[in-house]
Structure 1
Amino acid sequence: MATVNAHATIPDNCPALVLNADFRPLSYYPLSLWSWQDAVKAVFLDRVNIVSEYERYVRSPSFELKLPSVVSLKTYVKPALYPAFTRFNVFLRDRFTCQYCGDKSDLTFDHLIPRSRGGQTRWDNVVTACAPCNLKKGGMMPKVAGMFPAHEPMRPTVFDLHRNGRLFPPNYLHESWLDYLYWDTELEP
């Protein structure tokens, strides 16, 4: 097993950004990251190309390798067109914002057509709501409650969620990742 250079900082702080074969991140939110151990293993199994490296090494008696900071898959993984219907993905679609008042805290989700009135739990009937707005609307229809979502709920594509995910970068972004996370965003004039 490789050991870490005693003069280097802890390698656990060296995750690798994982890009698809087309050099786009596999996902933006959560960001597609591998631990340094998984990245090194993928290099040795010849599953990835090293795109960028940290200034930190792993060593064994027979080799020395800079830790990868960005890797790209050698085989393209076709992303699914539609994401799974999960609470997190509903929040991401709605940008972690209550669709009634715009608050960003104490979030839950609301059925536009309440379940008690036959409403189903699906993309086109569920929106992100803060707990106070959800309580206020209760089992009423939007028109009766006088509460309408800021955006009509719809089934997002993975590209919609990737676009929204870029708005919420993780707490840690290594400088070598920036070109790959935002290279296809529109430049300001």
Structure 2
Amino acid sequence: MADGSTINFPALVLNADFRPLSYFPLSLWSWQDTIKAVCLDRVSVLSEYDAEVHSPHQTFRLPSVIALKDYVPSARKPAFTRFNVFLRDNFSCQYCGDQLPTQDLTFDHVIPRCKGGRTTWENVVTACGICNLRKGPHLPHSINMLPRQRPVRPTSWQLQDNGRAFPPNYLHESWRDYLYWDTELES
């Protein structure tokens, strides 16, 4: 298969402990990067697609799930980014509770910057545009707009756990056993 039809064969990448490197965004490699890692003996193939690619001397079935041979520790302190704030807060406005797409979210300084508030994990929450405008430069208790959860610095594990609640648009059937191993099985 040398044409563009291999473009839709990403491999789910698991750490050496067989957990995804990340859930949100899901850790995926292109089929080209996956084949290179297989040839360099850096990964173990756990599941394959039915599709194949050919070199002049070899045929490879395209891996659908791979595990790294060497464990990669996750960062202990996640980066303070807009996306990670949204992920910590489950993409929900911390004032009204509405869950919205990222383009409809912003972040709010619980203690406004004009009142000495800083841009930190402990002072920034996810907000919808309406609530952010309503709160404006006021202190939360002065207008009875307290965040639903106290903002805290999350761990990488907490962000990963939150990310599991937001599955990607595409999930190959071979990935399910590795992504949702702790969910209740159907009877």
Q: TM-score range by the shorter chain?
A: over 0.9
Deviations 1:103-145 (A, max 9, x none): 2332100000000111010111000000110000001000112
Q: 2:23 aligns with which of 19, 28, 40?
A: 28
Structure 2 counterpart of 1:24, one-letter code: R
For residues 95 and 152 of structure 1, the distance between their equivalents in structure 2, rounded to whole angstroms, comes to 14
CA deviation after TM superposition for structure 1 residue 185, in Å: 4.1
Q: Which runs of 5+ in 1 are unaligned?
A: none
For residues 184 and 112 of structure 2, the distance between their equivalents in structure 1, rounded to whole angstroms, comes to 39
Change in CA separation of 1:160 and 1:185 when aligned onto 2, cut-off 3 Å: farther
Q: Which runs of 5+ in 2 are unaligned?
A: none
CA deviation after TM superposition for structure 1 residue 19, in Å: 0.3
Partner SS state of residue 161, structure 1: helix
CA deviation after TM superposition for structure 1 residue 102, in Å: 1.4
Matching residue of 1:177: 175
For residues 188 and 93 of structure 1, the distance between their equivalents in structure 2, rounded to whole angstroms, comes to 29
RMSD: 1.6
Give TM-score, length-normalised by structure 1.
0.93
Structure 2 counterpart of 1:121, one-letter code: T
Aligned length, in residue pairs: 184
Deviations 1:47-104 (A, max 9, x none): 1111110000000220001001001001000111221000000000000010101123
Matching residue of 2:148: 150
Whether 2:51 is the aligned partner of 1:56: answer: yes
1:36-185 aligned at under 5 Å gives the runs 36-105=31-100, 106-185=104-183
Structure 2 counterpart of 1:70, one-letter code: V
CA deviation after TM superposition for structure 1 residue 188, in Å: 8.9
CA deviation after TM superposition for structure 1 residue 186, in Å: 6.0
Change in CA separation of 1:163 and 1:187 when aligned onto 2, cut-off 3 Å: farther
Structure 2 counterpart of 1:86, one-letter code: T
Give TM-score, length-normalised by structure 2.
0.94
Q: Report percent identity of matched pairs.
A: 65
